[in-house]
Amino acid sequence: MGYFTDDITVKAYKHAFKKNYDHSYPNENIVRISEAIKLRPGSKCLDFGYSFGENLIHFAKKGHKMFGLDNHKILEKKTLKKIKERNLKLKFEPELKTLTKKDKKLPYKNNTFDFILANQNVYLLASEEKIFKLLKEFKRVAKKNAEIVITMMSQKNWVARDGKYLGNNCYELDPQSKLNRVKGNFLHRYYILNSKSHIEYLFRDFKINEIGHFDNSYLGVHGHHYVLFLKNTK
Ligand SMILES: C[S@@+](CC[C@H](N)C(=O)[O-])C[C@H]1O[C@@H](n2cnc3c(N)ncnc32)[C@H](O)[C@@H]1O
Protein backbone atom coordinates (compact mmCIF):
# COMPACT_ATOMS: atom_id res chain seq x y z
CA MET A 1 0.00 0.00 0.00
CA GLY A 2 1.35 3.44 -0.95
CA TYR A 3 2.53 5.79 1.79
CA PHE A 4 1.70 9.05 -0.05
CA THR A 5 -0.26 7.44 -2.87
CA ASP A 6 -3.52 5.61 -3.49
CA ASP A 7 -2.99 2.39 -5.48
CA ILE A 8 -6.32 2.56 -7.36
CA THR A 9 -5.73 6.15 -8.43
CA VAL A 10 -2.14 5.48 -9.48
CA LYS A 11 -3.37 2.57 -11.61
CA ALA A 12 -6.05 4.78 -13.21
CA TYR A 13 -3.58 7.52 -14.13
CA LYS A 14 -1.04 4.98 -15.39
CA HIS A 15 -3.69 3.72 -17.77
CA ALA A 16 -4.75 7.25 -18.76
CA PHE A 17 -1.19 8.43 -19.49
CA LYS A 18 -0.61 5.32 -21.63
CA LYS A 19 -3.68 6.39 -23.63
CA ASN A 20 -2.02 9.79 -24.06
CA TYR A 21 -4.26 11.65 -21.64
CA ASP A 22 -2.82 15.17 -21.77
CA HIS A 23 -3.49 18.91 -21.68
CA SER A 24 -1.73 21.44 -23.86
CA TYR A 25 -2.57 24.48 -21.74
CA PRO A 26 -2.16 25.51 -18.08
CA ASN A 27 -5.13 25.52 -15.72
CA GLU A 28 -6.84 28.93 -15.95
CA ASN A 29 -7.33 29.21 -12.19
CA ILE A 30 -3.66 28.54 -11.63
CA VAL A 31 -2.70 31.16 -14.23
CA ARG A 32 -4.79 33.72 -12.33
CA ILE A 33 -3.32 32.67 -8.99
CA SER A 34 0.21 32.80 -10.40
CA GLU A 35 -0.37 36.48 -11.21
CA ALA A 36 -1.58 37.25 -7.69
CA ILE A 37 1.06 35.38 -5.70
CA LYS A 38 4.05 37.60 -5.36
CA LEU A 39 7.16 35.53 -5.89
CA ARG A 40 10.61 36.86 -6.59
CA PRO A 41 12.04 35.65 -9.93
CA GLY A 42 14.18 32.61 -9.26
CA SER A 43 11.95 31.41 -6.40
CA LYS A 44 12.03 27.70 -5.77
CA CYS A 45 8.59 26.24 -6.41
CA LEU A 46 7.25 22.71 -6.09
CA ASP A 47 4.41 21.65 -8.38
CA PHE A 48 3.14 18.57 -6.59
CA GLY A 49 1.30 16.25 -9.02
CA TYR A 50 2.57 18.27 -12.03
CA SER A 51 1.06 15.79 -14.47
CA PHE A 52 0.85 17.39 -17.94
CA GLY A 53 3.58 19.84 -16.96
CA GLU A 54 1.62 22.84 -18.24
CA ASN A 55 1.29 24.68 -14.91
CA LEU A 56 4.92 23.95 -14.14
CA ILE A 57 5.99 25.33 -17.55
CA HIS A 58 3.84 28.43 -16.96
CA PHE A 59 5.70 29.15 -13.69
CA ALA A 60 9.08 28.28 -15.26
CA LYS A 61 8.44 30.85 -18.00
CA LYS A 62 8.13 33.46 -15.25
CA GLY A 63 11.73 32.71 -14.31
CA HIS A 64 11.15 30.47 -11.31
CA LYS A 65 13.15 27.38 -10.48
CA MET A 66 10.56 24.63 -10.79
CA PHE A 67 10.49 21.21 -9.16
CA GLY A 68 7.86 18.71 -10.27
CA LEU A 69 6.81 15.57 -8.44
CA ASP A 70 4.32 13.00 -9.66
CA ASN A 71 3.82 9.23 -9.61
CA HIS A 72 4.61 8.40 -13.24
CA LYS A 73 8.11 8.33 -14.74
CA ILE A 74 6.66 8.80 -18.23
CA LEU A 75 5.66 12.38 -17.28
CA GLU A 76 9.29 13.46 -16.87
CA LYS A 77 10.02 12.65 -20.52
CA LYS A 78 6.73 14.09 -21.77
CA THR A 79 7.21 17.41 -20.00
CA LEU A 80 10.86 17.83 -21.02
CA LYS A 81 9.79 17.03 -24.61
CA LYS A 82 7.19 19.82 -24.50
CA ILE A 83 9.84 22.29 -23.34
CA LYS A 84 12.21 21.23 -26.12
CA GLU A 85 9.60 21.17 -28.87
CA ARG A 86 8.34 24.63 -27.95
CA ASN A 87 11.92 25.83 -27.96
CA LEU A 88 11.42 27.47 -24.58
CA LYS A 89 14.46 29.28 -23.29
CA LEU A 90 13.94 28.78 -19.57
CA LYS A 91 16.25 30.40 -17.07
CA PHE A 92 16.19 27.21 -14.98
CA GLU A 93 15.64 23.69 -16.29
CA PRO A 94 12.83 22.12 -14.21
CA GLU A 95 13.82 19.26 -11.91
CA LEU A 96 11.30 16.44 -12.28
CA LYS A 97 11.08 13.48 -9.95
CA THR A 98 8.84 10.47 -9.52
CA LEU A 99 7.40 9.41 -6.19
CA THR A 100 7.08 5.66 -5.66
CA LYS A 101 4.66 3.95 -3.33
CA LYS A 102 7.47 3.04 -0.93
CA ASP A 103 8.71 6.63 -0.43
CA LYS A 104 8.13 7.92 3.10
CA LYS A 105 9.66 11.34 2.52
CA LEU A 106 9.44 13.84 -0.29
CA PRO A 107 12.82 13.87 -2.07
CA TYR A 108 13.83 17.37 -0.93
CA LYS A 109 15.80 18.89 1.94
CA ASN A 110 14.18 20.84 4.78
CA ASN A 111 13.27 24.48 4.02
CA THR A 112 13.70 24.22 0.24
CA PHE A 113 10.62 25.90 -1.27
CA ASP A 114 9.29 29.46 -1.44
CA PHE A 115 6.04 28.19 -2.93
CA ILE A 116 4.20 24.87 -3.15
CA LEU A 117 1.33 24.25 -5.53
CA ALA A 118 -0.84 21.16 -5.29
CA ASN A 119 -3.66 21.59 -7.79
CA GLN A 120 -6.27 18.86 -7.98
CA ASN A 121 -4.34 16.02 -6.46
CA VAL A 122 -4.04 16.03 -2.64
CA TYR A 123 -7.57 14.63 -2.44
CA LEU A 124 -6.43 11.75 -4.68
CA LEU A 125 -4.59 10.29 -1.68
CA ALA A 126 -8.09 9.26 -0.62
CA SER A 127 -7.16 8.94 3.03
CA GLU A 128 -7.02 11.47 5.84
CA GLU A 129 -4.03 9.70 7.35
CA LYS A 130 -2.05 9.92 4.10
CA ILE A 131 -3.03 13.55 3.59
CA PHE A 132 -1.74 14.41 7.09
CA LYS A 133 1.54 12.64 6.30
CA LEU A 134 1.87 14.58 3.04
CA LEU A 135 1.06 17.92 4.68
CA LYS A 136 3.71 17.21 7.30
CA GLU A 137 6.19 16.79 4.47
CA PHE A 138 4.99 19.98 2.75
CA LYS A 139 5.69 21.76 6.04
CA ARG A 140 9.16 20.28 6.27
CA VAL A 141 10.24 21.12 2.72
CA ALA A 142 8.65 24.61 2.68
CA LYS A 143 10.68 27.59 3.89
CA LYS A 144 9.38 29.67 6.77
CA ASN A 145 6.64 31.96 5.42
CA ALA A 146 6.39 30.01 2.16
CA GLU A 147 3.03 30.26 0.41
CA ILE A 148 1.18 27.04 -0.29
CA VAL A 149 -1.83 26.73 -2.57
CA ILE A 150 -3.85 23.53 -2.42
CA THR A 151 -7.13 22.82 -4.18
CA MET A 152 -9.50 20.28 -2.69
CA MET A 153 -12.84 18.89 -3.86
CA SER A 154 -15.88 19.88 -1.86
CA GLN A 155 -19.20 18.29 -1.05
CA LYS A 156 -20.66 20.22 -4.02
CA ASN A 157 -18.41 18.42 -6.48
CA TRP A 158 -20.04 15.85 -8.78
CA VAL A 159 -17.77 13.20 -7.27
CA ALA A 160 -19.68 13.54 -3.99
CA ARG A 161 -22.99 13.79 -5.83
CA ASP A 162 -22.59 10.90 -8.28
CA GLY A 163 -19.82 8.85 -6.69
CA LYS A 164 -20.04 5.87 -4.40
CA TYR A 165 -19.43 6.75 -0.73
CA LEU A 166 -16.70 4.59 0.78
CA GLY A 167 -16.74 6.07 4.31
CA ASN A 168 -14.27 8.43 6.04
CA ASN A 169 -15.05 11.30 3.59
CA CYS A 170 -13.92 9.21 0.60
CA TYR A 171 -15.76 8.61 -2.65
CA GLU A 172 -15.14 6.55 -5.76
CA LEU A 173 -16.05 7.54 -9.33
CA ASP A 174 -14.91 6.66 -12.80
CA PRO A 175 -15.04 9.98 -14.67
CA GLN A 176 -13.89 8.57 -18.02
CA SER A 177 -17.27 8.53 -19.73
CA LYS A 178 -18.09 12.22 -19.29
CA LEU A 179 -15.09 14.43 -19.14
CA ASN A 180 -11.79 12.90 -19.98
CA ARG A 181 -12.71 10.39 -22.66
CA VAL A 182 -10.11 7.92 -21.47
CA LYS A 183 -11.31 4.50 -22.59
CA GLY A 184 -10.97 1.72 -20.03
CA ASN A 185 -10.38 1.86 -16.30
CA PHE A 186 -10.05 5.43 -15.01
CA LEU A 187 -11.50 4.78 -11.57
CA HIS A 188 -10.27 7.18 -8.88
CA ARG A 189 -10.85 7.69 -5.21
CA TYR A 190 -11.28 11.14 -3.69
CA TYR A 191 -11.19 12.67 -0.21
CA ILE A 192 -13.94 15.30 0.07
CA LEU A 193 -14.07 18.35 2.36
CA ASN A 194 -17.47 19.32 3.66
CA SER A 195 -17.18 22.46 5.80
CA LYS A 196 -14.99 25.32 7.00
CA SER A 197 -14.31 23.49 10.26
CA HIS A 198 -13.28 20.41 8.28
CA ILE A 199 -10.77 22.57 6.36
CA GLU A 200 -9.46 24.13 9.58
CA TYR A 201 -9.02 20.67 11.07
CA LEU A 202 -7.14 19.23 8.06
CA PHE A 203 -4.87 22.25 7.54
CA ARG A 204 -4.33 23.09 11.21
CA ASP A 205 -0.53 23.12 10.90
CA PHE A 206 -0.65 26.09 8.51
CA LYS A 207 -1.95 29.61 8.72
CA ILE A 208 -5.04 29.70 6.50
CA ASN A 209 -4.92 33.07 4.71
CA GLU A 210 -7.98 32.47 2.59
CA ILE A 211 -10.50 29.79 1.75
CA GLY A 212 -11.74 30.43 -1.78
CA HIS A 213 -13.27 28.21 -4.43
CA PHE A 214 -13.58 27.72 -8.16
CA ASP A 215 -16.45 26.04 -9.87
CA ASN A 216 -17.71 24.95 -13.26
CA SER A 217 -21.09 23.48 -13.91
CA TYR A 218 -21.90 22.36 -17.44
CA LEU A 219 -22.07 19.21 -19.59
CA GLY A 220 -23.08 17.22 -16.54
CA VAL A 221 -19.92 18.09 -14.62
CA HIS A 222 -19.96 20.03 -11.35
CA GLY A 223 -16.38 20.84 -10.54
CA HIS A 224 -16.56 22.71 -7.26
CA HIS A 225 -13.12 22.90 -5.58
CA TYR A 226 -11.94 24.83 -2.57
CA VAL A 227 -8.78 26.87 -3.12
CA LEU A 228 -6.75 27.10 0.07
CA PHE A 229 -4.17 29.83 0.46
CA LEU A 230 -1.86 28.73 3.24
CA LYS A 231 1.27 30.10 4.84
CA ASN A 232 3.95 28.04 6.49
CA THR A 233 4.52 30.10 9.62
CA LYS A 234 6.46 27.10 11.15
C1 LIG B 1 -6.12 15.92 -12.00
S2 LIG B 1 -4.39 15.74 -12.37
C3 LIG B 1 -3.88 17.39 -11.94
C4 LIG B 1 -2.72 17.78 -12.74
C5 LIG B 1 -2.15 19.19 -12.56
N6 LIG B 1 -1.76 19.47 -11.20
C7 LIG B 1 -3.05 20.26 -13.11
O8 LIG B 1 -3.39 21.18 -12.38
O9 LIG B 1 -3.39 20.19 -14.30
C10 LIG B 1 -3.78 14.77 -11.04
C11 LIG B 1 -2.28 14.46 -11.08
O12 LIG B 1 -1.88 14.19 -9.74
C13 LIG B 1 -1.04 13.07 -9.74
N14 LIG B 1 -1.13 12.43 -8.43
C15 LIG B 1 -2.17 11.76 -7.90
N16 LIG B 1 -1.87 11.28 -6.69
C17 LIG B 1 -0.61 11.68 -6.44
C18 LIG B 1 0.27 11.47 -5.34
N19 LIG B 1 -0.11 10.77 -4.29
N20 LIG B 1 1.51 11.97 -5.40
C21 LIG B 1 1.90 12.69 -6.50
N22 LIG B 1 1.11 12.90 -7.59
C23 LIG B 1 -0.12 12.40 -7.54
C24 LIG B 1 -1.57 12.20 -10.85
O25 LIG B 1 -0.61 11.25 -11.28
C26 LIG B 1 -1.92 13.24 -11.89
O27 LIG B 1 -0.80 13.48 -12.69
Domain ranges for the chain, please list them. 7-231
Query: Tell me, what's the pLDDT at 178?
Result: 60
Query: Which of the listed residues 59, 70, 131 should we mutate to test ligand 1's pocket, taking the one with most ligand atoms within 8 A of CB?
Result: 70
pTM: 0.97
Q: With left for phi above 0 and alpha for psi between -120 and 50, is residue 55 left, alpha or beta?
A: alpha
Class of domain 7-231: alpha beta
List pocket residues of ligand 1, CB cut-off 6 Å: 4-5, 9, 13, 27, 49-52, 55, 69-72, 99, 119-121, 124-125
Cβ–Cβ < 8 Å for 97, 69? yes
Q: For the residues 45-55, what does the mean pLDDT come to?
A: 98
What is the per-residue pLDDT across 113-164, written as a single tens digit (0 to 9) for each?
Answer: 999 999 999 999 999 999 999 999 999 999 999 999 999 999 999 999 999 9
DSSP strand pairing (217-218 vs 170-173): unpaired
Helices assigned H by DSSP within 102-154? 128-141
